[in-house]
Amino acid sequence: MIKPKKVKKAPEEVLNHIWEEQGDRKKGIKDSHLGPDYKNEAEVGEALAEAFQTGLVKREELFITTKLWNSDHGHVVEACKDSLKKLQLEYLDLYLVHFPIATKHTGVGATGSALDEDGILEIDTTISLETTWHAMEDLVSMGLVRSIGISNYDIFLTRDCLAYSKVKPAVNQIETHPYFQRDSLVKFCQKHGICVTAHTPLGGAAANTEWFGSVSCLDDPVLKGLAEKYKKTVAQLILRWGIQRNTVVIPKSSKPERLQENFHVFDFELTKEDMELIKGVDRKLRTNQPAKFWGVDLYA
């Protein structure tokens, strides 16, 4: 996800967050989703080191994901090692290609998007996605990552990746929510054994409405009505819908009360009729549009 305001916290804040999450360990909150573009790897690394040292949590109890940024497609191994160094880890559970585009290299681990004099993203035409993927596969054989995946790939790019890959992508992390359901892509990935993860399961909520002028599905009257029916929040209803589609939902939150709220989606189930009702609110509306900052419509 593109975030004009970076997610950056002091190590003690991150550690407190881990303490809060570990209070919910038995409830299954064990995933840490990171990325160089989020500017949070070093802070999380310091917190993890302290958590491991104090016995708060063991490395094998956590599933840690980070991403390859666009400008590092020609420096995959170096970029991964840079992330591992910042995170103070020996391996990653999952490493994703953040976007299906190679851009001008600005230094390993640097996440600035180089723009030309017209404010257009400088795309590197010398590096193919196939080349990038084979370098990702090398990370698996080197033992630096346990699994690799893709992010923001459409059906055709996913199909191509399946064709040239030796190590199949474990995950395709995409934007999908009631206003952008993308059933064809979701079903294609699932048919071919690729887990679909929704990186914007709530439509970006307030952040994307502010940054991109998007319309939030949290205000949809149909969804509000269903939330009242099940005595849940609209967010809980949407997360449950995502789970029943057999997708992994990763709503962003740093607030303990929101983490608790997000977890309370396993004590109810949407009926088949209500799942069909939600299918009817699809607007095919992408809320996270990088063209606003890059001057290029990546999805055109």
List binding-site positions: 98
Give the residue from 209, 213, 270 showing the smallest Cα distance to 236: 270
- Structural contact between residues 65 and 31, judged by C-beta atoms closer than 8 angstroms: yes
Q: How far apart are CA 297 and CA 74, in angstroms?
A: 22
Sort strands 195-198 and 171-174 into parallel, antiparallel or unpaired. parallel
38 is catalytic: yes
Residues 294, 291: Cα–Cα separation, whole Å: 5
Q: Which of 72, 127, 124 is nearest to 95 (CA)?
A: 72
- C-alpha pair distances (Å), 132 with each of 2, 79, 126, 139, 213: 21, 12, 11, 11, 33
Cα separation, 151 vs 95, whole angstroms: 10
Query: Which residues face 174 on adjacent strands?
Result: 198
Which residues, in sequence order, are bridge partners of residue 150? 97, 172
| Strands 94-97 and 195-198, bridge-based pairing | unpaired
Considering the candidates 38, 95, 153, 179, report the single residue annotated as catalytic: 38
Nearest by Cα to 42 from 1, 8, 79: 8
Q: Which residues contact 34 (CB under 8 A, 6 or more apart)?
A: 40, 41, 44, 64, 65, 66, 67, 83, 87
User: According to DSSP H, which parts of 128-179 are helical?
Assistant: 129-141, 155-164
Binding residues for substrate: 98
List residues with catalytic annotation: 38
